[in-house]
Each structure stands twice: as C-alpha cells, then as structure tokens.
Amino acid sequence: MISVKAYAKINLGLRIFDRRIDGYHNLETVFVRVNPFDEIILEEDNGISFSSNELNLNSDPSNLCIKAAKLFNEHYNLNNGVKIKLQKNIPIGAGMGGGSSDAAATLLGLIKLWDLKITEAELKSITLKLGSDVPYFLKPGMAHATGRGEILEYFSLPLPYWIVILYPDIHVSTSWAYQSLNAEHSHHISHPTSHITLKDFLLKNIHNSHELNHNLVNDFEPVVLHQHKQIGFAKLMLYSEGASFAQMSGSGSAVYGFFLEEQKAVRAAERLKTKYKVFITPPNFDPE
C-alpha cells in the first residue's frame, strides 16, 4: 500500500496569448504549491477501482486518477490492477489544480507500487495526455510555465507572505472561461510587463506590492469576475482585511491574498471562514 499527498497550486499571474493549432492556448504563468492537499492511497488489486469522500467523483468516467492508471497499463502493455482511494480536500473547479495534482500523484505512486522503470520524457508525455497542468505536479517547487503550461522552468523564489485562499463555493469551468476570452478577443491585451517574463518580474518585484497590484495580472479575471460578482467580492474582502496583494487563481473561483503579518492573515482567515472555505499557507512553504 502506498500513500501520496497531492498539494494544490495557485497561479502568480496568468497571461493568455493566441490559440494554437492543437486548440490549446499559449500562456504564461508561475505555479506555486500551497495548502491544502488531497491524499491518495493505492493498493494492489485485481481491477482498477476508485473511491472518494467526494461523491461526485465516484461516478465520473473522466476521472483523472483512473485515466492515469489506464495510461500506464496501455503504455507498458500491462494488465495491473489498483484500488485508488482519494481523500479530497482541495475544492473542485477552484483553479487550484486539484485534479491535475491528483493525477500526477497517482502516476508517481503507481511507479512505486508497480515498480515501473520510466524515463522523465516518457512520464511527461503520459502526463500531458491527462492535462496541461499535470506535468508541473511531478516535481516539487515553483515553476515558470509557458506553451500550454507544459514548458516548465523550476526556480527558487522565497515567498515572504502568508497566503490566505478563499473558495467562494462556485465551480468555474475552464473551458467556459477560455470561450469567454475568445469571444471578447481579450487575450490580445497588451501586457504592461510582457517585455519581461513573469519569472523575472516576480524575482525583481516580489517585495513590491505596488508593482504586484499594477502589473501582475490574471487575464481570466475580467471575464470571470464579470460573470460571478461573488468572486470579485471575495477578492475585495482580502484587501479589506489587510492583504498587500490579491488575485484569482487560474480560471477561478479561488482567490488568494498575500499578508505580511501572521496576525493579520490568521485574523482574516478567522473572520472570513463563516462565508468561505479558507486555507492558509505559511511563508516560504515547502510541502514534504
């Protein structure tokens, strides 16, 4: 039996560019691991089965954990079985990468459970069949992502903030968010900082909340916040509690705020948990 933790992520900035021939969009973002995490338990079994405390996932045929196990079987021409148990803590449809993280954790766990020999390149090509964000979760740390999110450069940037994440219990569909962007042609926005990469921008300005607030943008925010006023309200709540910077993660609906003082972050989390699902991540967080 193997147990694996699958941590959530947030995006520090998200720039969406042109649509590619394969239907995906070129984008640029920086991924960072945060609390909470899902837990996956894998046990040898005859067939492939899945169960979760999140009942909606049990009957979902497009379940990424099951897909991950099947892809390994196909790739290696195996007929291995596994019982997958998922303790889900990361909200679904929150822009926190829960499904992608679960898929990557399942693959990494199965490599151990089934004692598979696999190259990094092979593993990456399998993960890309599961989703654009999945490769990021194969390694720890922060990463600058380009292409459709699969071209990754891991780098070190100490984050001096307490991060408070609010989930307003709204499920935002990523495909809807992209369609809305396409309809508005707003991915042709000129970015004030696009002459430098997000990685370089953050390395230079992570302590400068004025720069973060003016130039670190998430292109999904205008369309998603327009459609879901509650998400914009959650973002405002973080600022009103003393956040130095706040932004929506991915295509939403989770929003996060950077707090310099632990006391303010803890107080914000306390005050807002009656209205939202709240997660708090300490500075320079490095999940085990």
Q: Would you state the structure tokens that stand for residue 224, as one six-digit string?
A: 């998603």
CB neighbour class for 67 (10 Å; exposed up to 12, middle 13-18, buried from 19): middle
CA dist 17 and 5 (Å) reads: 32
Cis ω on the peptide bond leading into residue 251 (within 30° of 0)? no
Q: Among 102, 103, 132, 108, which residue's Cα sits nearest to residue 120? A: 108
Q: Which residue type, as a one-letter code, is found at position 109?
A: G
Cis ω on the peptide bond leading into residue 36 (within 30° of 0)? yes
| CB 82, CB 42: distance < 8 Å | yes
Kindly list the catalytic residues.
Answer: 9, 133
